[in-house]
Amino acid sequence: MKLSYYFIDAEAPPLQDNTEIDVDGGKKLDIFDINEGAGLDLFEGDIILADTNQRNSIIGDRYRWPIPVPYFLEDSLEINAKALVLEAFERYRLKTCIDFKPWEGEPNYISVFKDSGCYSYVGNLRQGKQQLSLGVNCDRIATIQHEFLHALGFWHEQSRADRDDYVTIVWDRILPGREHNFNVYDDTRSNSLNVPYDYTSVMHYSKTAFQNGSEPTIVTKIDAFSDVIGQRMDFSDYDLEKLNRLYNCSSSISFMDSCTFEYNNICGMIQGTGDNSDWNHVLLSAAGPSNDHTHLGNCKDSGYYMHFSTSTGNAGDKALLESRLFYPKRGFQCLEFFYYYNGNENDALNIWIREYTEASPNGTLTFITSIKGNPAEYWQLHHVSLNVKNKFRVVFEGVKGNGPSNGGFAIDDINFSEALCPHYIWHIRNFTHESIKENGRIYSPPLYSKDGYAYQVQVRPNGPADSPYDLAIYFHLISGANDDTLQWPCSLRQAKMELMDQNPDIRKRMSNQRSITTDPTQVASNGDLFWDKPAKVGTSVTFPNGTQFFRGPGYGTSAFISHDRLHSRDFLKGGDAFFLLSVEDVSHLSASQPTPVPTTTTKPPVTDIPSPTKPGPDVPKECEGFGCKNDGVCVLENEKPVCRCKVTKDWWYVGDKCERKVSSQDTLVIAVSSSVTIFAVMLIITLTSVLCLKKKHKKQIAKAGKAQTTENAYTF
């Protein structure tokens, strides 16, 4: 649902007891700040080493995880963190071939739990239960992506061999004893996968990492990237390129299509049949927008879009534009596109699905939704939720309505994925202008969750006096029509607030997201339950139309995004901002994840640094000291320990303790040797038989000759 309405509240009355909770305490907390605050001294700030040699040997296929990666969410993990882990998995699925599945007894899996700080091991160590910690303040989606990238096999960006060509480490500004976190490792220890150095990587330290004072410890050799390093928003393009190369990805899991209409093939779309008009592929239309949404007129000879004009023709005229065929795998999809609607209010843009089944080989059209009634001279964003199970096409139908028109419909920047759509789009026009309002607060329209809770989102373009160049965001429950029938306090609803990067390709976006989850036991400073009914704990305020309501206390962060980062991507394309908002019931995550019976057990890893916890599954007593070698796994058969030896395509281990390695080449040599030996033996046997037969044959000939001579003698 699209919402362009909002109001400015520069003199908002204070909430009861001035309650507004900043979960970050007004600080920009990075992973390393969190771990330092928790008293952790880990390798490179957030890495647990399995043994003293691991940093030298992470390169190699044996450190990759099988796909899908098994995971287990421990009960200690906070509900907000659990939901964000699942959300992070969706980002992996959208942009890579990496998938995840609940652990079902596989010998190796990632166990996500809450400990002090945020940390992970690097790569698949093949040692059973491999822990990844998401402690207090680690429940940020990019932090979770960062830690899982470690688990998938990645080190920090600034530790790569060519680091010093791109950044300067200012050693005398580093906290004493933390200098080792800035070591560089050569190509035998880490692999850049032939991808250029990446200032924008989610795996890069920030410029203030481990600083002793206020000056940066990392200075970029290109000044423009000084405030870019250390971003915790999303994967960068090079992060994705490296991950896809490491795991040999050729496509992503949930992505379906992206189209900017820049090429004449219009992304494989076709003009439908049975209509009496057409969509036109144009660079400019007298009846349409003056530029496309992709480039906003900034690129010469680029900026195409599709346009259906309603300025001519008759009422009822229509044009069908049909997508290429799609083959769904997940059963749910999200269609996203930008549209420009400047025709008559009776014109309509209808979305249909043409679904193909055995019973309908030519496809059956199903109406989904319609856009009409509110023409506007600017580009708008729209989402359509779908649940298609069979092969299908998306159909855009433009229809001319009654009445005069000087415009029509244009569409651009289509993205299609097998994912869930956000519930609402909050479109703030001219956000750049609003951001200069001193102490201004921008509130969203009143919104409703699927189960009936009313809420608003507040954005403060300028932060407090001590951090004026940060944008703040807060979530508020407000009084609504369903309050008397709802459960209070509001329990375990997760609010997702995302500032959308308007890159035309959804895979290349680095949107900034923050999520909070309502805790029914949380108490405000005045003793009230924080998430109780707004009429009880909130403040009376008034909508612009004069309607009074109650707004509950706010919960969010004053350090949502800095002004520098706000302008570093397409967050404010054409000056407009889009916030994607959703509230979901996540109470089901309070239940424990089912625990399978492990098919194998292994020894826990040995760490060479103080580890906050001891990862690793329990080992049966019978296997203790049994001593399987070469990554062999001890299992019980008939209550007796035996070794299951490691096997790959090209080599494997054999023996009671997996002590001997055998390769396919060895087998080939043995096979060839055996064949040669057998051939030689057979040859000897054959030659011997021939010689014996030859001698026997000579004797027979000699006897025959002698008999013939005697007979002849008697004849003469």
Q: What does the pLDDT look like over 98-126, one tens digit per residue?
A: 999 999 999 999 999 999 999 999 999 99
> Would residue 147 show up in a list of annotated catalytic residues for this protein?
yes
Cβ atoms < 10 Å from Cβ of 47: 20
Listed residue (184, 216, 219, 175) closest to 199, CA to CA: 219
Number of neighbouring beta carbons within 10 Å of residue 584: 19
46 labeled binding residue: yes
Q: Look at residue 406 and tell me whether its pLDDT is greater than 50.
A: yes
R_g over Cα of the chain:
34
Q: 673: number of CA atoms within 13 Å, CB side?
A: 6
What pLDDT sits at residue 691?
A: 54
Nearest in space to 586 (alpha carbons), one of 687, 473, 682, 494: 494
Q: What pLDDT score does 636 carry?
A: 58
Q: Where are the alpha helices (DSSP H) in 204-257?
A: 237-246
Using CA atoms, how far residue 408 sits from 254, 266, 306, 307, 475, in Å, is 33, 19, 11, 7, 37
Question: For residue 234, which of 506, 429, 454 has the smallest C-alpha distance?
Answer: 506
Q: Please give the Cα distance from 511 to 516 (Å, whole number).
A: 17
**DSSP letter string, 18-71:** G-EEETTTTS---HHHHHHHTT---BTTTB--SSTTGGG---SGGGSPPSSEEE
Cα dihedral: 260, 261, 267, 269 (round 10) = 120
Cα–Cα distance, 601 to 107 (Å, whole number):
7
Task: Tell me what pLDDT residue 645 has.
Answer: 64
Q: Residue 56 contacts by C-beta under 8 Å, 6 or more apart in sequence?
A: 188, 189
The span from the CA of 116 to the CA of 611, in Å, is: 10
**How far is CA 158 from each of CA 98, 148, 510, rounded to the nearest angstrom?**
24, 18, 20
Q: Which two tokens stand for residue 327?
A: 């083959």
Rounded CA-CA distance 22/37 in Å is 18
| Mode of pairing for the β-strands spanning 447-448 and 539-542 | unpaired
Please name the residue that has the structure tokens 């997201």.
513
Q: SS3 for 395-414, per residue?
A: EEEEECCCCCCCCEEEEEEE
156 is in an annotated binding site: yes
Residue type, 470: D
d(CA 349, CA 360): 25
Q: How far is CA 625 from CA 146, 426, 548, 642, in A?
A: 36, 61, 72, 12
Q: What is the mean pLDDT of the chain?
A: 85
What 3-state class would DSSP assign to 712? helix
Q: Look at strands 548-562 and 20-22 and give their pairing.
A: parallel
Query: Rounded CA gap, 340 and 378, in Å?
Result: 6
Distance CA 211, CA 350 (A): 56
Most confident listed range (333-347, 587-601, 645-659): 333-347
∠ Cα 85 91 93 (to 5°)? 105
Lowest mean pLDDT among 8-22, 277-291, 438-452: 8-22
Give dist(CA 365, CA 367) in Å, integer.
Answer: 7
* Phi, then psi, of 122 in degrees rounded to 5: -110, 120
Range scoring the smallest mean pLDDT among 50-54, 161-165, 339-343, 461-465: 50-54
The number of helices, as runs of H, and strands, as runs of E, in the chain is 8, 35
Q: What percent of the chain has pLDDT over 90?
A: 70
Nearest of 118, 416, 452, 414 to residue 279 by alpha carbon: 414
Confidence of residue 380 (pLDDT cuts 50, 70, 90): very high
pLDDT band (50, 70, 90) for residue 53: low
Average pLDDT of the residues in 690-699:
52
Cα–Cα distance measured from residue 341 to residue 309, given in angstroms and rounded to the nearest whole number: 10
Q: What's the order of all strands across the beta sheet hosting 109-113?
A: 100-102, 69-73, 109-113, 129-134, 118-120
pTM above 0.75, yes or no: yes
Amino acid in position 202: V
Largest Cα separation within the chain, whole Å, is 153
Among all chains, which residue has been given the structure tokens 């306090």?
A: 489
Asked whether residue 70 carries a pLDDT value surpassing 90, the answer given is yes
- 146 annotated to bind ligand: yes
pLDDT score, position 710: 35
Residue whose entry in the numeric block shows the structure tokens 């219009």: 266
- β-pairing, 109-113 vs 470-478, is unpaired
Enumerate the domain spans of the chain: 2-19+440-589, 255-418
pLDDT (0 to 100) of residue 667: 39
Do 343 and 405 contact (CB within 8 A), yes or no?
A: yes
**Which amino acid, 707?**
A
Residue 663, strand partner residues: 651
Considering only the top CATH level, what class is 255-418? mainly beta
d(CA 235, CA 134): 19
Residue 436: pLDDT band by 50, 70, 90 thresholds? low
Separation of alpha carbons 52 and 49, rounded Å: 7
Q: What is the pLDDT of residue 57?
A: 39
Q: Is 259 left (phi over 0), alpha (psi -120 to 50) or beta?
A: beta
* pLDDT at site 696: 53
Q: How confident is the model at residue 249 (pLDDT cuts 50, 70, 90)?
A: very high
Closest CA to 292 of 504, 90, 6: 504
662 or 400, greater pLDDT? 400
368 burial type by CB count under 10 A (0-12 exposed, 13-18 middle, 19+ buried): middle
- Which residue in 147, 322, 418, 498 is the catalytic one? 147
- Lowest mean per-residue pLDDT among 31-35, 455-459, 676-680: 676-680
The answer to whether 525 and 18 have CB atoms below 8 angstroms apart is: no
CATH architecture of 2-19+440-589: Sandwich (2.60)
Average pLDDT over residues 630-639: 65
CA distances from 538 to 198, 477, 662 (A): 46, 9, 72
**What letter does residue 147 receive in the DSSP assignment?**
H
**Is residue 235 within 8 Å of 200, Cβ to Cβ?**
no
**DSSP H or E run through 459:** strand 454-460
* Model pLDDT for residues 640-665, shown as the tens digit of each residue: 776 766 554 344 566 777 777 755 44
Residue 668: helix, strand or coil by DSSP?
Answer: helix
Beta bridge pairs of residue 54: none
